[in-house]
A = this chain, B = another copy of it.
Amino acid sequence: MRLDRLDQDLIALLTEDARASYAELGARVGLSASAVKRRVDRLRERGAITAFTVRLDPAALGWAVEGYVELFCAQSTTPGAIRKAVARFPEVVDASTVSGDANAVLRILAADMRHFERVLEQIGAQPIVARTRSVLVLSPLLRRTAAPRPD
């Protein structure tokens, strides 16, 4: 996908404030409101922008414990099966299949340590899961969104 300088600037501005008006965005990048709308619509159509959303603070919402969980599954477990098994847990906010000895890595938010432990148990009890290995997040250092790739 071809993103020119204006697209990149618009994405950067929207990353910081997704509720900015088209007129304001236009003033910042040197376009009219209607031109900005056209470009933003196009970025959505082409899939670069998948949604306008809010960034939430897990701690402020009562999620005090965060951790990464590696999933070890029986041989030839499909990604779809893993997805199905973990998607039922709202505590799982991120999941990917990975290379290496684990089959998948999950990121989990829990209200407290007991809650984390309980979720871990329930995930470990899924038929497709042979065992898990988890690490707790001690302190978040950085949290960014993907930036447009500079060419």
Is B53 in contact with A140, judged by CB distance below 8 angstroms? no
Within the complex, the shortest CB–CB distance from A130 to chain B, in Å, comes to 17
Is B138 in contact with A97, judged by CB distance below 8 angstroms? yes
Q: Which residues of A contact B (CB under 8 A)?
A: 1, 3, 11, 14-19, 46-58, 60-63, 66, 68, 79, 82-83, 86-87, 90, 92-100, 102, 104-105, 109, 111, 135-149
Q: How many copies of the shown chain assemble into the complex?
A: 2
For A147, the chain B residues whose CB sits under 8 A away are 61, 90
Complex Cα distance, B49 from A54, in Å, reads 7
For A58, the chain B residues whose CB sits under 8 A away are 146
For A66, the chain B residues whose CB sits under 8 A away are 96
Q: A1-B60, A149-B62 are in contact. Are A139 and B53 (CB under 8 A)?
A: no
4 new A-B contacts at CB < 8 Å, known A56-B145, A86-B141: A17-B53, A52-B53, A54-B145, A61-B148
Q: A18-B18, A63-B149, A99-B135 are in contact. Are A94 and B49 (CB under 8 A)?
A: no
Contacting residue for A49 out of B14, B55, B63, B83, CB 8 A: B55
Is B146 in contact with A83, judged by CB distance below 8 angstroms? no
